Amino acid sequence: RVKRSGGRDYQFFHPSMAAAAENRRRLENELRLAAERQELRLFYQPIVDIQQNRLAGAEALIRWVHPQQGMVPPDDFIPVAEETGLIQEIGLWVLETACDQLQQWRREGREDLYLSINVSGSQIPHGLPPSAVMEALSRRSLPPGALVLEITEGVLMSDMKQALEWLQALRQVGIRIYLDDFGTGYSSLSYLKRFPVTTVKVDKSFVRDMGQDSSDRALVEAIVAMTRSLGLEVVAEGVENEAQLALLRGMGTRYGQGYHFSRPVPAGDFSAVTERLETLLQATPGAPG
Ligand code: C2E
Ligand code: MG
Ligand code: MG
Ligand code: MG
């Protein structure tokens, strides 16, 4: 390691860097095959109306069941998928799988549930054209209200005109858009006015510290108040306990999602989880009969 007069650190090549590069190449190759080998799964996490104490929908969260490494979380492979362009193919698989799941729920009598999927910035607009989304729905006779797309504000910042056209095309046919991880980026309030998003998801980092950190509490409260005055809906992510839930309810937050209600679960476990959850919600004081 040498230090130059400018004060910057320069890192010399180290053998561990070769190992890291090798790992990365292996990951890329394995990810390329993961879809073919059916190693990708969607897990589902309930989204709860915490004012009316009822299940509202769910978020689909991708998992990679790696033959040697077991369950690989999305934060470990989605960035690789984005950099290599594999996200396009994965994203279409997510769309199709989510729509199959919606159809399945409808067959089971759950036409009240919606499903949200996460969309990477690099999928917009050509990786996930609005026409492909509408086709996936109409092929299964699903209404556009059944599907929600979650984007982050990074999407809006990169190419505003392109993002706006993409969003408008989806909104025009009634597909809802959630702005994910709100509060972590620039969170320019003008985005909320300029872009036709329907809902803001308060990032879990603020919800986590709400009990101890009064500035986080103030921030969540401000986001909830602001979304309400703009006529937007709000979901609080990362609700882990009763105390957080009580605070969020008190602020008038409409929806909540988090381990307190359920972890993300495989499709096969979802109906058992929702049954248990709905029994609990109905027993909550103030719940609709
Ligand atoms: P996200 O969309 O913000 O999803 C919320 C994350 O918080 C999920 O992590 C979820 O498992 C986790 N979570 C839920 N409730 C709680 C809680 O009470 N406490 C805590 N600490 N965490 C909670 P996960 O599943 O690891 O996903 C991480 C991120 O990966 C997602 O963040 C999303 O940005 C991305 N991702 C997931 N699935 C997909 C996908 O299909 N496509 C794309 N492009 N990105 C995806
Ligand atoms: Mg999300
Ligand atoms: Mg989030
Ligand atoms: Mg995220």
**Residue 159 has which token pair?**
């190419």
Round to whole Å and give the CA distance between 78 and 120: 9
Q: Which residue, 44, 38, 45, is CA-closest to 66?
A: 38
Q: What is the pLDDT of residue 201?
A: 96
- Residue whose Cα lies nearest atom 7 of ligand 1: it is 238
For the stretch 62-83, pLDDT in tens is: 999 999 999 999 999 999 999 9
If you measure from the C-alpha of residue 18 to the centroid of ligand 1, how many angstroms do you get, rounded to a whole number? 30
Is the C-beta atom of 175 inside 6 A of ligand 1? no
List of long-range contacts for 275-278, beta carbons under 8 Å, 24+ apart: 277/46, 277/48, 277/55, 278/54, 278/55
Is the C-beta atom of 61 inside 6 A of ligand 1? yes
**Pocket test residue of 48, 76, 118 for ligand 1, highest count of atoms within 8 A of CB:** 118
**Residue 90 has which token pair?**
């994965």
**Nearest ligand by distance to the CA of 45:** 1
Question: Does pLDDT of 3 surpass 50?
Answer: no
Cα torsion angle, 45, 50, 55, 58, sign: negative
Is the C-beta atom of 120 inside 6 A of ligand 1? yes
Is the C-beta atom of 95 inside 6 A of ligand 1? no
The model's confidence at residue 286, banded by pLDDT at 50, 70 and 90, is low
Is the C-beta atom of 252 inside 6 A of ligand 1? no
Question: Does pLDDT of 135 surpass 90?
Answer: yes
The model's confidence at residue 4, banded by pLDDT at 50, 70 and 90, is very low
User: Are residues 66 and 27 in contact, defined by beta-carbon separation less than 8 angstroms?
Assistant: no
If you measure from the C-alpha of residue 288 to the centroid of ligand 4, how many angstroms do you get, rounded to a whole number? 32
For the stretch 227-260, pLDDT in tens is: 999 999 999 999 999 999 999 999 999 999 999 9
Q: What is the pLDDT of residue 287?
A: 61
Rounded to the nearest 10 degrees, the angle between the axes of helix 74-84 and helix 87-107 is 130
User: Which atom of ligand 1 lies nearest, measured to the CA of 119?
Assistant: 44
Is the C-beta atom of 48 inside 6 A of ligand 1? no
Is the C-beta atom of 258 inside 6 A of ligand 1? yes
For the stretch 140-170, pLDDT in tens is: 999 999 999 999 988 888 788 999 999 999 9
Q: What is the pLDDT of residue 8?
A: 56
Is the C-beta atom of 116 inside 6 A of ligand 1? no
For the stretch 261-279, pLDDT in tens is: 999 999 999 999 999 999 9
Residue 63, phi then psi, degrees to nearest 5: -135, 150
User: Are residues 56 and 49 in contact, defined by beta-carbon separation less than 8 angstroms?
Assistant: yes
Q: Which residue, 91, 19, 42, 10, is CA-closest to 267?
A: 42
Whether the bond into 264 is cis, omega within 30 of 0: no
Q: Which residue, 248, 250, 247, 273, is CA-closest to 262?
A: 273
Average pLDDT over the chain reads 92
Question: Does pLDDT of 1 surpass 50?
Answer: no
